[in-house]
């Protein structure tokens, strides 16, 4: 088998038990967006805060809320978690009837302060604020066009491109300006836009990222990346914003317009079901929790194991482990306990903790593992930096055998639609075959769910059927050309 160094897999992080530090192997979450408009204006900023709080899992680097009172707009945004960024004092000035909010993980542009959303600019048509989830594959060309037209750019994310293009577009209304600008945008975008007297939400015609709308219990409406945020706000009549649809929220009014024809090859992100979305969200008419259980059932049908107990890697793999246990008839139990409050820390771990790799994030429950043949269920394997230390942790806790089962196919290609998985070469499965990965992580057996099995769980797919989902990170078949897609930090050079 090739050695780790010779195949170019990063040796930093915790790829071995004696690794140099802790690197989380999870694909980095994208972003969460939220918008709402009420006729009475009571507690709009507080509502936005609680909606964003429910979207925290989609981005933990920064958060922001912009509010408009019909004439003026104000924004508060900072690096940090929603609960740290907003206090009664920072929310108090955000009075008005209409609001948008954003939780950020930087998929384009660095995590610099200037890239924190929502963006807010003054235009000749009044204030304009924009927040975005996704990634444009043609942002470099659009950005160059703006620079050639003499626009000054202050940030390095493609959200600024959206904002400036809208501000400069012709048309009598924001809806007209959006309609004129939309055809130029190629890629993934679920956008919320705040103007003086309304909130407008738009979803790209491929439908990459989720976006839903609902009716607030005391008047008005809200849109959000995930239905869990709408449920937190008490929304009823929750419905998906269709690919290519524009939704206008103006006090008690709701207007829905199909501004772009949905692409024939629609491309919902299957990875939202595997990992990103909260299990209490619904998308494409399906519960994420139920779908994850189905992923476990399909995995058990394809790759059962001769074992004594099934344990999940918490939290996102819990429903799949329950499904796997049900299908195999083997008992489900906790074997790994996660520190749910782990986040960004500026305190360096001690040498001892660093050497024990996953110790910061997980401890093993030896009473449930000792003398057991264990199946560990995990949602995905990206760079492969945590799987080896987790297998070792379970073995050190007394497991006699460790079998790893992954609820999606091997990830072999980078995502260009808003999910930061690094480059193709950073992905373990682009470098090693399944047997080599098994040997690398030290498991007794390893199996990934097949593409057909995953799509059977997500969309009841029969083999080969086109079900309107993007699976490019598993297949390399991108739903639109990604030749111009920029690397995450490519705009930094332009500003430098």
Q: Which residues are catalytic?
A: 31
User: Which x/- pattern, by CB under 6 A, does the window 94-123 give for ligand SF4?
Assistant: ------------------------------
When asked if residue 482 is in the footprint of ligand SF4 (CB under 6 A), the reply is: no
- 26 secondary structure, DSSP code: S
Residue 477 Cβ vs ligand SF4, minimum distance, rounded to whole Å: 10
Residues 401-430 binding ligand SF4 (CB under 6 A) are 415, 417, 419
Beta bridge partner(s), residue 32: 103
Distance CA 97, CA 454 (A): 43
Nearer to ligand SF4, 36 or 470 (CB): 470
Nearer to ligand SF4, 64 or 468 (CB): 468
Contact range with ligand SF4 by CB under 6 A, out of 223-231, 265-273, 383-391, 432-440? 265-273
Q: Report helix, strand and coil shares of the chain as percent, to nearest 5.
A: 30, 25, 45
Residue 138 Cβ vs ligand SF4, minimum distance, rounded to whole Å: 16
Distance CA 408, CA 272 (A): 12
> Which one of residues 471, 486, 488, 491 is an interface residue with ligand SF4 (CB under 6 A)?
471
When asked if residue 271 is in the footprint of ligand SF4 (CB under 6 A), the reply is: yes
User: Which x/- pattern, by CB under 6 A, does the window 161-200 give for ligand SF4?
Assistant: ----------------------------------------
Nearer to ligand SF4, 216 or 458 (CB): 458
Cβ proximity of 175 and 248 under 8 Å: yes
- 161 secondary structure, DSSP code: H
Distance CA 355, CA 338 (A): 18
Cβ proximity of 258 and 207 under 8 Å: no
Residue 415 Cβ vs ligand SF4, minimum distance, rounded to whole Å: 3
Cβ proximity of 490 and 140 under 8 Å: yes
Distance CA 450, CA 429 (A): 14
Nearer to ligand SF4, 53 or 478 (CB): 478
Residues 31-70 binding ligand SF4 (CB under 6 A) are none
Question: What does each C-alpha distance from 276 to 74, 84, 155 come to in angstroms?
Answer: 30, 22, 26
Whether cis (ω within 30° of 0) applies to the bond prior to 315 is: yes
Angle at 118 between CA 142 and CA 415, to 5 degrees: 55
> Which one of residues 288, 311, 473, 482 is an interface residue with ligand SF4 (CB under 6 A)?
473
Cβ proximity of 417 and 467 under 8 Å: no
When asked if residue 437 is in the footprint of ligand SF4 (CB under 6 A), the reply is: no
Cβ proximity of 246 and 307 under 8 Å: no
> Which one of residues 288, 364, 472, 480 is an interface residue with ligand SF4 (CB under 6 A)?
472
Binding-site size for ligand SF4 (CB under 6 A) equals 11
Nearer to ligand SF4, 104 or 209 (CB): 209
Residue 270 Cβ vs ligand SF4, minimum distance, rounded to whole Å: 5
Nearer to ligand SF4, 369 or 472 (CB): 472
Distance CA 416, CA 338 (A): 30
Nearer to ligand SF4, 322 or 455 (CB): 455
When asked if residue 269 is in the footprint of ligand SF4 (CB under 6 A), the reply is: yes
Residue recorded with tokens 């620079």: 147
Q: Is 265 exposed, middle or buried (0-12, 13-18, 19+ CB in 10 A)?
A: exposed
Sequence-ordered strand ranges (E) for 313-460: 336-338, 362-364, 373-378, 401-406, 445-448
Cβ proximity of 368 and 334 under 8 Å: yes
Nearer to ligand SF4, 93 or 476 (CB): 476
When asked if residue 470 is in the footprint of ligand SF4 (CB under 6 A), the reply is: yes
When asked if residue 208 is in the footprint of ligand SF4 (CB under 6 A), the reply is: yes
> Which one of residues 107, 140, 248, 270 is an interface residue with ligand SF4 (CB under 6 A)?
270
When asked if residue 211 is in the footprint of ligand SF4 (CB under 6 A), the reply is: no
Distance of alpha carbon 211 from its chain centroid, rounded?
12
Residue 441 Cβ vs ligand SF4, minimum distance, rounded to whole Å: 22
Q: What residue ranges bind ligand SF4 (CB under 6 A)?
A: 208, 269-271, 415, 417, 419, 470-473
């Amino acid at each position: 088998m090739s050695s780790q160094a010779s195949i170019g897999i990063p040796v930093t992080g915790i790829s071995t038990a004696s690794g140099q530090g802790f690197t989380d192997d999870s694909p980095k979450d994208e972003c969460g967006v939220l918008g709402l408009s009420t006729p009475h204006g009571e507690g709009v900023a507080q509502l936005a805060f609680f909606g964003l709080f429910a979207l925290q899992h989609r981005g933990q680097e920064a958060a922001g809320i912009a509010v408009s009172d019909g004439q003026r707009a104000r924004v508060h945004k900072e690096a940090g978690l929603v609960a740290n960024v907003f206090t009664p004092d920072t929310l108090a000035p955000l009075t008005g009837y209409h609001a948008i909010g954003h939780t950020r993980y930087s998929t384009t542009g660095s995590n610099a302060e200037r890239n924190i959303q929502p963006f807010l600019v003054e235009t000749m048509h009044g204030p304009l604020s924009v927040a975005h989830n996704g990634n444009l594959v043609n942002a470099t060309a659009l950005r160059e066009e703006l620079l050639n037209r003499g626009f000054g750019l202050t940030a390095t994310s493609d959200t600024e491109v959206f904002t400036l293009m809208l501000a400069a577009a012709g048309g009598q209304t924001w809806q007209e300006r959006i309609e004129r600008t939309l055809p130029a945008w190629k890629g993934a975008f679920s956008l919320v836009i705040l103007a003086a007297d309304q909130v407008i939400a738009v979803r790209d015609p491929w439908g990459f990222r989720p976006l839903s709308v609902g009716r607030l219990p005391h008047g008005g409406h809200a849109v959000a990346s995930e239905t869990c945020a709408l449920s937190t706000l008490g929304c009823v009549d929750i419905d998906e914003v269709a690919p290519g649809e524009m939704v206008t929220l103006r006090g008690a009014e709701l207007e829905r317009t199909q501004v772009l024809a949905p692409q024939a090859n629609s491309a919902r992100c299957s990875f939202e079901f595997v990992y990103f979305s909260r299990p209490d969200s619904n998308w494409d008419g399906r519960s994420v929790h139920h779908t994850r259980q189905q992923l476990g059932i399909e995995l058990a049908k394809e790759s059962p194991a001769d074992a004594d107990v099934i344990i999940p890697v918490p939290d996102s793999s819990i429903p799949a482990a329950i499904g796997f246990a049900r299908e195999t008839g083997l008992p489900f139990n906790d074997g790994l306990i996660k520190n749910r409050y782990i986040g960004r820390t500026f305190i360096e771990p001690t040498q001892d903790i660093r050497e024990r790799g996953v110790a910061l994030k997980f401890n093993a429950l030896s009473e449930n593992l000792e003398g057991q043949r264990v199946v560990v269920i995990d949602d995905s394997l990206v760079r492969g930096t945590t799987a080896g230390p987790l297998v070792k942790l379970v073995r050190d806790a007394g497991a006699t055998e460790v079998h790893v089962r992954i609820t999606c196919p091997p990830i072999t290609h980078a995502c260009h639609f808003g999910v930061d998985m690094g480059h193709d070469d950073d992905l373990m499965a682009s470098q090693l075959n399944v047997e080599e990965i098994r040997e690398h992580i030290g498991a007794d057996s390893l199996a990934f769910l097949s593409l057909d099995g995953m799509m059977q769980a997500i969309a009841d797919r029969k083999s080969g059927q086109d079900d309107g989902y993007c699976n490019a990170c598993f297949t390399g078949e991108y739903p639109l050309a990604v030749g111009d897609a920029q690397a995450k930090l490519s705009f930094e050079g332009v500003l430098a």
